[in-house]
Chain A
Amino acid sequence: MDFLTFSKKAAEYAAAQNITDYELYYQADSASQISVLGENVDKLTSSSVEGVSLRCIVGGKTGNASTENFTEEEIPDLFKRALQAAEIAEEGEQQDIYAGGSYQQLPAAKLPENDAAAEQASLLKAEGYALKADSRVQKGLMASMADISSKTAISNSKGLYLENSGAMTVASMNVVAVDEKGKKYNDHASAAKACGSEQDIEALANRAVEKTIAQIGASPVKSGHYPVIFDCSQMAAMLEIFQSAFSAQQAQTGMSVLAGKAGEKIASDLVTIVDDPFYPENFFQTAFDAEGVPTKTRNIVENGTLTTLLYNRATASKDGVESTGNAYRDSYASPVSIAPHTFYLKPSDMTREDLLKKAGTAVMITFMKGAHAGANAVSGDFSLESKGFLVENGQIVRAVEEITVAGNFFQMLKDISAVANDLKVNVEDGASCCGAPTVLVSDLAIAGC
């Protein structure tokens, strides 16, 4: 049965059992993907996954349960599991389910209607474009195109019913190049577009080739302290790694050094960080959060000062403030947590070229890896495998690899000495994503040779 029917049956069951405070959170994700290997189709996939979470509040105690089994028989079991969980929970701050608010109207998302045959045909040309772009590119290029759509809905005991959906097409390409000594280099490029709009495969291939070829001749730099330029993509990655420090949930449990810092200076004057649920290029804009609370655009950091942490209802109630509309579920089966929407460092009007000139000599980071282990949002410490370029006199002089960049994120926010105008947002990450322009950090440690 579909979710609407399921939610009506659940309402009948809840009424019969005198269950007064509950919320159903539904999510349906569909994806179809074509992957090619060189001139051949490699793999085709199609998935459609849907599930629902039930959250019950009984006497201030919250219990969760979820299922992917949309049958009438499943309903009593779902309630039973959630009520059992509520029994052992401590009485929390949150006593009730949200009744609703006033929501911004969003245009309906364009759903996938892409022509699979045309997508396949265009992808099969990718290798040709890449080989033409540079003779050092190897055959056996991997490319893929995925149509992704997601629908969420909330139905609760206060009579609130909300729906939202989004969709995008993501093309990506992975290029391997070999230098004259047989050493291999590898990079990739991807692009997210609205469903139905055309992907420029040739441009994407050229970008992936350009990124890969630029690494040829790379070697480490001497270990030491350097001014470091984070390419926009890597500064966005930094925000993504450390965004959980802005969560009131983390702060209230002593797992964020930003706890109690609202109103204080936490970053350089040049830093303004925006959280925008309506960022125009995000394909999963939303007018409500995972608890149904209306969302709002706000500056979380303004000219270096932390204005607020990100709140859901429970943490807001504990701090005696209003929810900021940042309740989030990683998937329908995850408990409610907190996350930003489109979370980005505001660009300035300085060009990237001028930022390089200002840096003079610096290491520019264009790639980082291993953040799940090499960076810790609780401490802010990071030490990450990196690649990039050596910048001298404001000019890129050579490629750099086999280095790590290490420091502390919260110190780094204070050490940002320039912000460029080239904002890039990783919209392919979906509803909760990060973005940044290229930045200059005055001092970080580089381990090399």
Chain B
Amino acid sequence: MIQTSVLEAALEVAVSTGADYAEIFAEDTVRGLLQFVDDSVKDTMSEHSVGVGVRVFKGVQSAYACSSGLSPESVMAAAKKAAAMIAGKGKGSVSPLISSTCMNISPAARIGSTVPLSDKVALAKRAYRAAREYSSEISQANIRLLDYDRNILIATSEGLHVTDRQVRSRIAINAIASAGNVNQVGYNAPGASKGYEFFDEIDLEAVAKDAARQAVTMLHADYCPAGRMPVAIDNGFGGVIFHEACGHSLEAQAVSRGMSEFAGKLGQRVASEKVTAIDDGTIPGAWGSVNIDDEGTPNRRRVLIDKGILKSYLVDKLNGRRMGLPTTASSRRQDYTFAPTSRMSNTFLAAGTDSDEDIIRSIDFGLYAKKMGGGSVNPVTGEFNFAVNEGYLVRNGQICEPVRGASLIGKGSEVIQNIDMVGQNLRREQGVCGASSGSVPTDVGQPMIRVSEITVGGRK
């Protein structure tokens, strides 16, 4: 992508004003989007994104300069800008670059940019038809087929020189059910760190039909009651509860600044004994996996909470300096326009010992949240929210009628203490997590869990 001599010269410039560490991140990415609505191709986009970002550290202070293009001039210009911003005395040192290759844990066969558009249309059409044919109440389906082929290079003043190719494919299916003036939406969006072979591995029609089923079910659902009650949250995207209630607050970006309710709690009990939480970037082919993080560190499996005890934060190099901790290979960024920071990868609650039947049976009056939507959190206070896309009331240990329009809110440190039953059937689903270093692909996951009491934001 960029000649070693250019990288070395740029690193020399980057440390020339007193930085003690410099890093070049270069990217050449091809993205494809195909949107299929109303039985026809609505939009397509084929993107070619190229650029470079140079980051320098001086102690815990950092500077980041980025620009489009990969010419030697643009690399050098970014290095000069970063050096000018740090503007100190002295000169840092640069080790000779030693090229290394990283192990590819997610080999891809049919990369998006090589797949004929007609094949992509056929794929989208299959999902569209399956959703529409589910019921006459399905009035529309919106299919988005996304792929990307991200080629990155990282070179640092410590002599690291590594490249990686990260391939992903995903299909997002929205099914809309309508009756009169009421619309309801169902959604599924499976994805993987794989090429288009991924779509042969999943039952696309079943995924589309399930989105349609959600929409139709919600169309006939009454509004959810409001108030505090026990909630059973099903597996898969239900794991967004841990992602929001706890995961973000374990990111070094928040912890190192004292902006997290979990700061200073390593080794302490922070959750119920039933809770073991893992962030694993090494699952082959998983949506949130990467071979190396965006600082070039080989990925790993991180046990964050073990039987309720806080074991690890998610740490990147810069925030690790502030905390006196080594990186946990958790540094990620959307693309070269963002400086990287600590982020999640595939984050999930480990399987427990309770049965799903016992969890439902234990609830006299509460909510069964079958499908969750996204959420958000303020790590300082731990206040989080997330949406229930498909919910049912539970009465006397039985799942009853569907209810719609609910969200769940609470405080992270409280809610993870209130997880008092954990099922056995762990499943992960795919999401896109947005934070200060942009949008990155992440998996959330869990088995079915019970939260003994949480505020349900319903309308009745």
Contacts and interface: CB of A to CB of B under 8 A. Distances in A.
Given A379-B182, A447-B457, A69 B48 contact: yes
Interface in B27-57: 31, 33, 35, 37-38, 40-51
B140 A49 contact: no
Interface stretch (A80-88, A124-132, A299-307): A80-88
A97 B182 CA distance: 37
B45 A65 contact: yes
Contacts of A161: none
A312 to B, nearest CB: 12
A66 B66 contact: no
A333 B49 contact: yes
Given A68-B49, A374-B407, A378-B183, A383 B118 contact: no
Interface in B53-92: 60-70, 81-82, 85-86
A1 B146 CA distance: 30
B406 interface: yes
A224 B458 CA distance: 10
Interface residues of B, number: 81
A153 interface: no
B185 A383 contact: no
B375 A373 contact: yes
Interface string A347-379: 000000000000000000000011011101011
A64 B46 contact: yes
A47 B82 CA distance: 10
Nearest to A61: B41
B61 A254 contact: no
B383 A385 contact: yes
A234 B409 CA distance: 18
B458 A447 contact: yes
Interface in A55-80: 63-70, 74, 77-78
B328 interface: no
B383 A402 contact: yes
A389 B61 CA distance: 39
A140 B181 CA distance: 50
A78 B48 CA distance: 9
Interface in B220-253: 223, 226-228
A224 B226 CA distance: 8
Contacts of B121: 88
B61 A42 contact: yes
B275 interface: no
B102 interface: no
Contacts of A380: 183
Q: 6 tightest CB-CB pairs across the interface, nearest first?
A: A404-B457, A447-B226, A385-B385, A373-B374, A370-B385, A373-B387
Interface of B: 31, 33, 35, 37-38, 40-51, 60-70, 81-82, 85-86, 117-118, 121, 139-140, 142, 176, 178, 181-185, 223, 226-228, 257-259, 261, 337, 339, 373-376, 378, 380-381, 383-387, 404-407, 409-411, 434, 455-460
12 contacts: A43-B62, A49-B66, A64-B44, A65-B47, A85-B117, A90-B41, A335-B45, A379-B184, A385-B383, A403-B455, A403-B457, A449-B228
Given A184-B380, A255-B183, A402-B383, 15 more contacts: A37-B257, A65-B46, A68-B49, A88-B44, A89-B41, A335-B43, A369-B376, A370-B376, A370-B386, A383-B405, A383-B407, A385-B384, A401-B383, A403-B409, A448-B227
